[in-house]
Structure 1
């Protein structure tokens, strides 16, 4: 399974990078300034209420992360890009603002987290609403509105 994931990861990572990556795909306001990462809650069939970014892309957590710190190394980040922000984070519909946090990672990036979990994308999700990363390797799960991992459908 990991070999197959690695084979699709590189081209998908390049495609994600080409789209801007980061928070809200590198979205900018009309003046060209970076906008804050927006996190919202949407209903997903079979999973319930899950976290998504401002463009509807599913957000995941890694079970090996502890105490809000990322344990996703460079190879991991190639497949599971971190949700980062240069301009803060906004709580959208259904999000508990008290659960949102940001943590500076090594290298200076500021990763957005929710509850106990740093947040990530999966390069295998091609469109908003995709949940192809759910349960992968028994370590990656979508995050619910309550900040807990949703292990259903894995």
Structure 2
């Protein structure tokens, strides 16, 4: 009996301790819980001045995004080995955060595997694996089919200059 009383006392203290840790807010109103997973899955697109291309669209990490001439509006034709070099800009959860880009230009497409990919003017967006830091656009004009995207949503077909934005993988 004595042991049961000790267990009950421990449970009461444990519950009281958990309740005390519930909130530091003294206002008496419920505060919405922060949602780190929502913030972590929200995709961001912004603009940045990159090389000779002017203001182009970049992802939330400042990496250049590209469109592919073999895609059509609403459809990705990059799969297999293509995706190994050109990973998709995944749509994430909820509305993408946009900075310097007209929201009317941005949409999503459903890929053949059922995943969602961000698109601009209906064209799916990709990253290039050789662009490892913000400001790089090494994927520009690779194979004559990969292009950076201007802030207006149009592909920029300027060939890389002597600034080192080469064609290599």
Q: Normalised by the size of structure 1, how large is the TM-score?
A: 0.76
Deviations 1:101-129 (Å, cap 9, x if unpaired)?
Answer: 01111222100001131000000111111
Q: Please point out which of 141, 144, 148 is paired with 1:135.
A: 141
Tell me if 1:100 matches 2:123.
Answer: no
Cα RMSD between the aligned structures?
Answer: 1.6
Match of 1:48 among 42, 48, 54: 54
Among 66, 74, 91, the alignment partner of 1:68 is 74
Q: Which has the higher contact order (CA 8 A, sep 6+)?
A: 1
Number of residues paired by the alignment?
A: 126
> Larger Rg: 1 or 2?
2
Report the Cα offset of residue 91 of structure 1: 4.2
**Residue in 2 that maps onto 1:86:** 92
Which stretches in structure 1 are left out of the alignment for 5+ residues?
1-28
